[in-house]
Amino acid sequence: VEAIVTAETSAAVREAVVDFGDRVAEYAFVGTYDPVTERIDPVEVSEAGGPAKLYESARQTFPAITAASQNEPQRIVDGQATGGAHGEWLNRLLHFGYRESLAVPVSHCGTVHAIAEFISTDAERFAEPERQAVGAVADAAGMRLSTLESASASNAPIAFDFECQDPSPLFPGLSTSGTIVVEHVALTGRENFHLTGRVD
């Protein structure tokens, strides 16, 4: 998650999500979503080719499109009843040797900034703990993409100062003569943030 919250570009965020995907699945991609045309454009993939290329020409509503349009994860598993376009998606996954996919929106405050799909050769790879981990990564990526897009839209840095008196409630182990240099702040929730920096 640290690679996501400290990423300086949208491309770096997408790359970090795919790197995470490499650890939890055999194949992963992140794509942009166009809600007008309801199309997915895979922009970062764990390996060339593979199922992501199916979105380049697909006119069907495959799981990543549904996940993006509804802002809800979509899980497709071999052996479970799946109909319509998702059934066709599963057939195509089986052609590649995969048996399960989990598509999650990379969103923040209701805005879908990207879509990620994690694909596995094992059915039932994405049990509840894995789905929670994937969801947490997607949420962090959504917040970071939102921050990056907001910053680039306004093209103005956000600067702030804070001062803590003795004893410091944020850094109780810091000596009174110590100084903290905060190099990066990322919101990781409504009431949480992630600081990176150094102690001088």
Q: Region 180-200: what's the mean pLDDT?
A: 69
Please, what are the domains in the chain?
Answer: 2-154 (3.30.450.40), 159-200 (no CATH)
pLDDT tier for residue 56 given thresholds of 50, 70 and 90 = confident
Bridge partners (DSSP) of residue 108 are 111
Specify whether the CB–CB gap between 104 and 115 falls below 8 A.
Answer: yes
Tens digits of residue pLDDT in 76-131: 998 776 666 688 888 889 999 999 999 999 999 888 999 999 999 998 899 999 99
Query: Residue 53: pLDDT above 70?
Result: yes
Q: Residue 200, Cα to own-chain centre: how many angstroms?
A: 33
Separation CA 180–CA 21 (nearest Å): 34
Tens digits of residue pLDDT in 142-189: 999 998 887 655 545 555 566 666 656 666 676 767 677 777 776 665
Predicted TM-score of the model (pTM): 0.73
Q: φ and ψ at 124, to 5 degrees?
A: 70, 25
The pLDDT value recorded for residue 41 is 92
Could you give the count of Cα atoms lying within 13 Å of 134 in the half-sphere of its Cβ?
30
Separation CA 149–CA 42 (nearest Å): 19
Q: Tokens standing for 25?
A: 């699945």
